[in-house]
Amino acid sequence: MENPLISHGDPDAAHSLPYPPELSSGTLWGIDLGGTKIEGIILGGGGPVPRVLQRLRVPTEASGGYDHVLGRVRLLVSRLAEASGLPPPATVGVGTPGVTAPGTGLIKNSNTLCLNGRSFAADLGSVLGCAVRLANDANCCALAEATLGAARGADVVFGIILGTGVGGGVVVGGRVLPGLHGIAGEWGHNPLGGESTPCYCGRTGCLETVCSGPALERYFAARSGRSLGLASIVRCADEGDSDAVATLERLREKFAEALAGVVNLLDPDAVVIGGGVGNIGLLYDGATRAAVARHLFNDRFDTPLLRPALGDSAGVFGAAMLAA
């Protein structure tokens, strides 16, 4: 069921969403650290609806290395303060690729490789002169969609990112489930049967090597001898191109197999599918639902499959909520 208060794909539509009670006053600062861009937001409370006081982006420039990335975040926070006229924040919520390993404070599993093995939260807090609350970017997306977006009101939500990478997050009762090792929801690195493509994580056959945007493009190129971007592959499939159709049918089957494992384990009340691959319509149709059901310990699959209400900015909204 679509959230009636918000238009899909419109991040500014969050203006029309009521705050949860704990977010009803003050300002919340959030940073979504991506591989190519860093987005920052300031949300204002004190009223019946959240207000986006300021939102800016800067390029990540991750090739410049770890210290350069810290400097880019500092630049963004400075620009947010200047543009909004607000004093620097006391606390900033930050969504990152990868997770902070419990007990060490070190980033692990990040595909922005310069972050791995570094005390990013502590180092960024020192650079910014404020407290930093860190969470995986997929967890931030899941949190935002479960509390402000498409799955608002659902108790157990599985939030998916299907894009350049594949990630997930679990939200229960409005709170992210991090897990003992900090990897709850990391379904992108579950192995798929019969798959053997090497993954950057050092393993083979991960879901990310099959259902991510780059993986779909590689499969299409190997099958057809043509190099096309994902949007063009989808368009070709709509026009009946057999190689493009086969590429998307493979996505359907592998996605369904992987999602069924999550449903068998969690049986969530809603699944939200974000990221560029998540825009492909067949992921939501009856054939995909039937494909999921074939793998379930149940005779039917009734879980709502939802498009994200907050568009590509769900992560930064979730990051801001970390500061609450």
CATH class of residue range 153-307? alpha beta
By C-alpha distance, which of 158, 135, 162 is closest to 145? 158
Percent of the chain scoring above 70 in pLDDT: 90
CA atoms within 13 A on the CB side of 315: 25
Domain spans of the chain?
Answer: 11-141+312-322, 153-307
Per-residue pLDDT reduced to its tens digit, 49-65: 568 899 999 999 999 99
Q: Which two tokens stand for residue 303?
A: 């879980």
Q: Which two tokens stand for residue 169?
A: 């997050």
Output the CA torsion 256→261→263→266 (10° steps).
-160
pLDDT-based confidence at 35, cuts 50/70/90?
Answer: confident
| pLDDT at residue 278 greater than cutoff 70 | yes
pLDDT, position 152: 92
Q: Which amino acid is at 138?
A: A
By C-alpha distance, which of 220, 223, 225 is closest to 235? 220
**Cα 171 to the chain's mean position, in Å?**
13
Q: Which two tokens stand for residue 128?
A: 């910014």
H or E element in which residue 172 lies: strand 166-172
Most confident of 9-23, 86-100, 212-226: 212-226
Q: Do domains 11-141+312-322 and 153-307 have the same CATH topology?
A: yes
Calpha distance 231→169 (Å, rounded): 26
Q: Which two tokens stand for residue 37?
A: 């861009």
Per-residue pLDDT reduced to its tens digit, 131-149: 999 999 889 999 999 988 9
Write a three-state SS string for 234-280. Answer: HHHHHCCCHHHHHHHHHHHHHHHHHHHHHHHHHCCCEEEEECCHHHC
pLDDT, position 5: 25
- Residue pair 6/147 in contact (Cβ under 8 Å)? The answer is no
Kindly give, in sequence order, each residue whose CB lies less than 8 Å from that of residue 92, ignoring residues fewer than 6 positions away. 29, 30, 31, 77, 124, 128, 130, 131, 132, 133, 323
Q: Strands 166-172, 175-176: parallel, antiparallel or unpaired by DSSP?
A: antiparallel
Identify the burial level of 122 via C-beta atoms within 10 angstroms of its C-beta, where 0-12 means exposed, 13-18 middle and 19 or more buried.
Answer: middle
Q: Strands 99-100, 107-108: parallel, antiparallel or unpaired by DSSP?
A: antiparallel
59 DSSP β-pair partners? 37
CATH number for the segment(s) 11-141+312-322: 3.30.420.40
